[in-house]
Structure 1
Amino acid sequence: MWTAATTTTALALATAVTFFIWRAAQWFSSVDAESHFEASQHFLEDPNSFEKVPPPSIFAEATKSLSVVIPAYNEEDRLPVTLEDLTGYLSHRRDTKDANFTYEIIIVDDGSRDNTSGIAFDYVRKYSFEAVRVIRLSRNMGKGGAVKAGMMIARGRQLLMADADGATRISDLAKLEAVMHNVTDPGGAQSTRAFQQQSELGMVIGSRAHMQQAAVNKRAWHRNLLMRGFHLLVMMVIGDKIKDTQCGFKSLRSPYKNHANLKRWCFDVELIYLAQELHIPVREVDVEWREVPGSKIRVTSMINMAMELLAVLLGYKVFRRWLIKTEAEA
């Protein structure tokens, strides 16, 4: 029998569902609005001349062998060690192994409140504006937003994203490059030009999956529970072929460096999703990784990650607000 109490309950439930949908739509709209980045709105800064230098066009031909993009938010303590290791390794490679090897390091200060940009400018002065470049974002955009900003002004044929904490050894770049070579030129010198152009794109991910059991044993039970939930959501978006989506050590040769929409933690998952949709090969390589004090991941970060994975499903599959374009259409 339909009673007043039943009616009240039904109205309350309908109101709650309506409110949830409205809030979800508002939240997605805010994510969607934040997803647009225009490189022309930002400038490179040369501390030697105090000039603001317009960024290169995203459509320009590559003029460097490698671009390393480092997103940095309040990293004045950890950034110097990472830059020392990085510049030392890349300079040694150029000077002793490959005279034709050229590189640039792009440090993206993601609205830091400390001396991150000051540290970065010290390395511009030491190694030149041509080798080390700094872009400062006016506000904190999140790791994904900072990586995207760096990628859009990168001049390298190969792109490498690396965390500011130096948790992954830079020498493991050689592992990623070896796999990338096999992916993008499997036929070597015998490949036809048409096949080489078709297979020139690729993504190689540094992976800590081989260290998973040791990490599980060290983490608290609630963090392990949250991680299991996160991995389940990741599987819903990209499947189960990639075991570690969140390692900050990734190498790209791709046309979609300007397409990612997410700005926070799960932009990595979105990049893999885009690669799958564009039929770009993705490979995973074990790398050495160490825990570095100062991690910015909190329990609330896991919740935000889940919301961002939901945004990928809504943006690409449900609302279809985020369209996937090829390089020719970009």
Structure 2
Amino acid sequence: MNLPSSRRPLPPALSVVVPAYNEADNLPALLDEIDAALRHVTRYEIVCVDDASDDDTAAALAACAANRPQLRVLRHRARSGQSAALRTGVKAARADWVATLDGDGQNDPADLPRLLQARADADDSVRLFAGWRVRREDSASKRWASRIANAIRTRLLHDATPDTGCGIKLFARDAFLDLPAFDHMHRFLPALMQRAGWRTLSVPVNHRPRRHGQSKYDNLGRALVGISDLRGVLWLLRRNPCAVADERIIRSTELLS
């Protein structure tokens, strides 16, 4: 039976997408924190994408979904990577704006209202608000590797983003889905958004140590993949600039002139 329009629940104003691979011990607390951060701020949904985990992530999410109507769970049939999980979640999102957080709990959901406020203060040309981990809670080797990678990327891509690898971001759903899709593209979102004609803004955010489990990346593996990805993004920036058009309203007087 169709409910009268006045009684239908309003669609979410924000979709929070959380990609996860083997994060069974981190997700329940992270979901609680997302609820606490947004409950009195905006209408929201959480879209959690399980990238074919082989631990108890599926069971943990099923238990969480039992008492959370705002939680939606998707699961990849085979492991496809973080960028693919993000895209799966964004395609399923029902809101026009999407926030993302890593499933390991190192991003702080309490920063979500800060990103929303930054969007409210910005003009319509800004379609990506990227978290900037001013104080990293990672190992010294990982911090140094990230600094070097960020310096090289900034020098080559000129994306004016101090921390493109931060998992907490806020962006317009349609702008994201217009971007070229490839593995690891989530590490280059500011440059890709700027290529599409949009402005981006970095917002200082909190960062926390991992509570459970281990990182899915090592510094050497990340560096080797990053070099190949960087070459591909440079090719995109040089070979395929995107055009942005403004609609022109033609008055009847112009037709007669």
How high is the TM-score relative to the length of structure 1?
0.64
Partner of 1:317: 238
- Unaligned runs of 5+ residues in structure 1 are 1-61, 185-198
Contact preservation (8 Å) 1:183, 1:281:
no
State the distance in 1 between where 2:96 and 2:143 align.
38
Partner of 2:56: 115
Q: Call closer, same or farther: CA 1:272–1:200 in 2, change over 3 Å.
A: closer
Q: Does residue 84 of structure 1 match 2:32?
A: yes
State the distance in 2 between where 1:200 and 1:254 align.
14
Partner of 2:122: 183
Q: Which SS does the other structure have where 1:211 is aligned?
A: coil
Q: Call closer, same or farther: CA 1:327–1:158 in 2, change over 3 Å.
A: farther
Partner of 1:140: 79
1:149 Cα deviation after fit: 0.7
- Give the counterpart of 1:242 among 150, 161, 164: 161
1:65 Cα deviation after fit: 0.8
Q: Call closer, same or farther: CA 1:224–1:205 in 2, change over 3 Å.
A: closer
Partner of 2:249: none
1:246 partner letter: G
- Give the counterpart of 2:90 among 147, 151, 166: 151
State the distance in 1 between where 2:49 and 2:125 align.
27
Partner of 1:211: 135
1:268 Cα deviation after fit: 2.8
1:71 partner letter: P
Any idea what the Cα deviations from partners look like across 1:4-37, whole Å, max 9, x if unmatched?
Answer: xxxxxxxxxxxxxxxxxxxxxxxxxxxxxxxxxx
2:135 partner letter: M
Partner of 1:302: 223
1:276 partner letter: Q
Partner of 1:127: 68
Identity within the alignment, %: 24
Contact preservation (8 Å) 1:255, 1:327:
no
State the distance in 2 between where 1:226 and 1:171 align.
27
1:279 Cα deviation after fit: 2.6
Q: Call closer, same or farther: CA 1:156–1:325 in 2, change over 3 Å.
A: farther
Q: Which SS does the other structure have where 2:176 is aligned?
A: coil
Any idea what the Cα deviations from partners look like across 1:162-199, whole Å, max 9, x if unmatched?
Answer: 11122122121121111111113xxxxxxxxxxxxxx2
Partner of 1:251: 170
Partner of 1:164: 103
1:200 Cα deviation after fit: 6.2
State the distance in 2 between where 1:133 and 1:176 align.
22
Contact preservation (8 Å) 1:148, 1:260:
no
1:273 Cα deviation after fit: 1.6
Partner of 1:11: none
1:105 Cα deviation after fit: 0.3
Please give the root-mean-square deviation of Cα atoms over the aligned residues, in Å. Answer: 2.6
Aligned residue pairs total 233
Partner of 2:210: 292
1:202 partner letter: R
Q: Call closer, same or farther: CA 1:124–1:302 in 2, change over 3 Å.
A: same
Partner of 1:4: none
State the distance in 2 between where 1:159 and 1:317 align.
28
State the distance in 2 between where 1:275 and 1:315 align.
12
Partner of 1:263: 183
State the distance in 2 between where 1:153 and 1:243 align.
29
Any idea what the Cα deviations from partners look like across 1:282-312, whole Å, max 9, x if unmatched?
Answer: 1111111112152222021221122211221
- Unaligned runs of 5+ residues in structure 2 are 1-9, 247-257
1:263 partner letter: D
Any idea what the Cα deviations from partners look like across 1:95-131, whole Å, max 9, x if unmatched?
Answer: xxx6xx3211000011111121221122221112xx1
Q: Does residue 282 of structure 1 match 2:200?
A: yes
